Structure 1
Amino acid sequence: MKYYSTNKQAPLATLEDAVVKGLAGDKGLYMPESIPSLSEGTINDMKNRSFHEIACTVAQAFFGDDIEPETLHEIVKDTLSFDTPVVEVDDNIYSLELFHGPTLAFKDVGARFMARLLGYFIKKEGLKQVNVLVATSGDTGSAVANGFLGVPGIHVYVLYPKGKVSPIQECQFTTLGQNITALEIDGNFDDCQALVKSAFMNTELNNHMKLTSANSINVARFLPQSFYYFNAYAQLDRMGKAGELVVSVPSGNFGNITAGLFAHRMGLPVKRFIAANNRNDVFLDYLETGKYTPRPSIATIANAMDVGDPSNFARIQDMFGIYGDPHKAICELISGYRFTDEEIAFTIKRVYNECGYLLDPHGACGYQALIQNTLDKEETGLFLETAHPAKFKGTVDKILDTDIEIPAKLKAFMQGKKQSVELSKDFADFKAYLLAQ
């Protein structure tokens, strides 16, 4: 499989080049030349398969031409050391719980897969060291840092906005040491993401060190997230609930919903998608006006979605570029909603009191979007619960006036000593720091 840039000005790349480079030379995002299809029989049979078997089927379709089957299966097996269960929350509304991995967030799937794939390429090519740059608004940093922790030949630099991630999230990537360095940026997530993109475009830096990204701009980060969409469908199919499926995705940088759209293009029978936003509603504005207008992000209690210029919007536009009117085609498959902090808090409290289910602020957006969308009688609603509520303990405790339990996995991170390097949002400072390494 070859990979092209969404800006169409860079040469085609192999999977290895796309993964190691992260971003194309023309600043575009890599996309596979074709999206493979799975047969209806293969998808119908997934209800009889394990998560590992389902993921191997999807991975083989995407990566089978570039990686030996045994190696690919081992990477998938090592990645998926946990399940992604579907849990009933309300009448005909289910949660896809993506917080059962090592850092209790959905990004464990993509980050662990990418770490293992990049490690494979480094060993295969005999590369000395690859430096991974990752911007985070919360969960990406912890998932990537823990996925790459101790991997030979890789050093990770996590850029995060000062004072804008939860204390528990911060502990998950600032206490690790070894090959993980946390950079505390005096700015917001968009500033962190801009620094990463600027680094890739800087000739002096790239001559000094080999750089790649572990954000969802990297194909090896977002493509594996399609695994759990197929797994969710298989679970609902076993219940007889997969016939008219509506999937609601809490959306920030739009890598997660893009992975769902890839699964749909591969043949997964999703009736429609909902992009659930917090007050950072650039995509909803696009749906309503047909114009994409990035703007500075706004801090909310659903902080992982505080993105004012979602990178993966370029991939969504590219996917629908085959249609005469891409905006119309996007609107036919995807709807959008926005929620304020007050509405998110109300949803968390209501669902906890009435359904006995504890939502995190991001999952609350996904759930409420299904409620406001008013599902038809025959439709099944599935929302993605993207992180464990305890990762936002201060927020959730305040909303519910309670003291939610912190899982042992999270407690372990909180025992370490925080280590981070403070930097301004000025690229010159960031560049000088990297050149000194």
Structure 2
Amino acid sequence: MSKNEISYISTRNGNESKNFSGAMEQGLARDGGLFIPDRWPDLSDKLWNHIESMSITDIGSALAQTFVPEIPADRLESLVEDAISFDAPLVHLHDDLYVLELFHGPTLAFKDYGARFMARMMSYRAEQASQRMVILVATSGDTGSAVGRAFEGVDNVDVCLLYPSGKVSPLQEQQLTTIGGNVTALEVEGTFDDCQKLVKDAFSDSKLRDELILSSANSINIARLLPQMFYYGRGLAQLEESDSVHFCVPSGNFGNLTAGMMAAQTGMSVGQFIAGTNVNDVVPEFLESGNFSPRASQKTISSAMDVGNPSNLERIRSFYPDVVELRQHLWAASFNDDACRTVIEEVYQSYDYILDPHTAVGYLAANSYRKEQESDQPVIILGTAHPAKFSDIVEPLIDTEIPLPGALKESMEKEKKSVRMYASYPKFKSFLREQYS
């Protein structure tokens, strides 16, 4: 690795250093920390000062070539173009509020960007190393289907999806349990946090990792975050005036927001990051009190955000170790299900726009921030999922049937296939050994 190239170190210490491919394959650092770049290059002149009207693949290629220097630029460009084959349109909602629609990929959720990029990177890595990988994924909703579809049929890669039984929407469950082939769905009796702990325990098990080559496609993996930087740039590229723009992110595990902060570290122009959470409000509470108190998650209608111990807060705190400094960059608020239901109905009636329950949290947070700060600066809300994925919640509120996109209709017609399991690490470890050794 050249001294001029970026390497990846743990959030907990700088002793372990990997190139991008190595950090992607390992997923979690040996000390349990998360990988972050060892430095932040200033891309103002190379990218951000010339962002107007740039395509998402142009933005993606520029960022990827900076952060993945070990892959030849022409091959990397083709990987980006293959992975990001759909845009992220910016929709003007009203006043200075915009929605960046991130649900135009194969599974109609923002996770498609990261999952498809990572699948192609993993496939390239497996091809170069002539090895077989096992991807472990804990999902609270959309991640599982996005990763499963992205890796479906990929050579030399197996995927194991862990999801909490009864705590994802019926449509989400159909999407992630009907892929088959090299993709196995584990239906865990527990919460998303239980699923995430099983994955983390597996990565921390040195004996298991001597037997299997494990990696992760959750937002703990740096390869998921890099492509999520792309669409922040694409949002700015479509805005006529990009000075003092705020980004509002519906947040659960905080990977999506972390990617935006990573882009800001390289010179992306942004006023403030605004995080909207549901009643799982550990981050708003942390910003207010300075004390981080993780706890069991509560079930809500914005199920993909039901996270009581968000992993990526560790990355955010590594960027801004002092909570006083962090407050200058991040504002957060939480909202309950009743508030979400009300705003879905109001936005549809007033602006003929349908919010899913997650984007509704973002809309509430954006309005609350603007009111508290008396701000009239533009806010880009990240629209994280197509409302049809939550038709059972949204349709009764707007009294209108949401047309089911073709990809969702196809999933609903397939047979569910899952393996039920208690949230027990010994049982999970035995399953991995039997399935993949």
Which TM-score band (shorter chain)? over 0.9
Q: Which residue matches 1:212? A: 215
SS in 2 for 1:47: coil
Distance 1:304 1:396 in 2: 15
SS in 1 for 2:29: coil
Q: Tell me by how many angstroms 1:48 deviates.
A: 3.5
2:339 is aligned with 1:343? yes
Which amino acid in 2 is paired with 1:117?
M
Distance 2:20 2:247 in 1: 29
Q: Which residue matches 2:153? A: 150
Conserved in 2, the CA contact under 8 Å of 1:246 and 1:271? yes
1:333-372 matches, within 5 Å, as: 333-372=329-368
Distance 1:330 1:154 in 2: 38
SS in 1 for 2:248: strand
Distance 1:84 1:291 in 2: 36
SS in 2 for 1:66: coil
Q: Which residue matches 1:37? A: 42
Q: Tell me by how many angstroms 1:377 deviates.
A: 5.8
Distance 1:6 1:125 in 2: 27
**How many residues matched?**
428
Which amino acid in 2 is paired with 1:162?
S
Q: Tell me by how many angstroms 1:42 deviates.
A: 3.2
Q: Tell me by how many angstroms 1:241 deviates.
A: 3.1
- Over 3 Å counting, the alpha-carbon distance change for 1:186 and 1:10 in structure 2 is farther
Q: Which residue matches 2:3? A: none
2:21 is aligned with 1:16? yes
Q: Tell me by how many angstroms 1:398 deviates.
A: 2.7
Which amino acid in 2 is paired with 1:14?
N
Q: Which residue matches 2:315? A: 315
- TM-score, normalised on structure 2? 0.96
Q: Which residue matches 1:125? A: 129
SS in 1 for 2:88: coil
- Over 3 Å counting, the alpha-carbon distance change for 1:421 and 1:41 in structure 2 is closer
Give the percent of matched residue pairs that are identical in Structure 1 and Structure 2: 45
- Over 3 Å counting, the alpha-carbon distance change for 1:430 and 1:10 in structure 2 is farther
Q: Tell me by how many angstroms 1:372 deviates.
A: 1.2
Q: Tell me by how many angstroms 1:329 deviates.
A: 0.9
Q: Tell me by how many angstroms 1:50 deviates.
A: 1.8
Alignment RMSD, CA only? Answer: 1.2
1:228-258 deviation per Cα after TM superposition (whole angstroms, max 9, x unaligned): 000100101xxx2322211110000010000
The unaligned stretches of length 5 or more in structure 2 are 1-5
Q: Tell me by how many angstroms 1:125 deviates.
A: 1.2
Distance 2:198 2:326 in 1: 30
2:92 is aligned with 1:94? no
Q: 2:370 aligns with which of 370, 374, 388?
A: 374
SS in 1 for 2:325: helix
Conserved in 2, the CA contact under 8 Å of 1:244 and 1:378? no
Distance 1:52 1:435 in 2: 39
Q: Tell me by how many angstroms 1:408 deviates.
A: 1.1
Conserved in 1, the CA contact under 8 Å of 2:193 and 2:297? yes
2:275 is aligned with 1:275? yes
Distance 1:244 1:9 in 2: 34
Which amino acid in 1 is paired with 2:314?
A
1:26-425 matches, within 5 Å, as: 26-40=31-45, 42-63=47-68, 65-127=69-131, 129-236=132-239, 240-321=240-321, 326-374=322-370, 376=374, 378-425=376-423
Which amino acid in 2 is paired with 1:86?
L
Q: Tell me by how many angstroms 1:44 deviates.
A: 3.0
Distance 1:136 1:340 in 2: 21
Q: Tell me by how many angstroms 1:378 deviates.
A: 4.6
Conserved in 2, the CA contact under 8 Å of 1:10 and 1:24? no
The unaligned stretches of length 5 or more in structure 1 are none
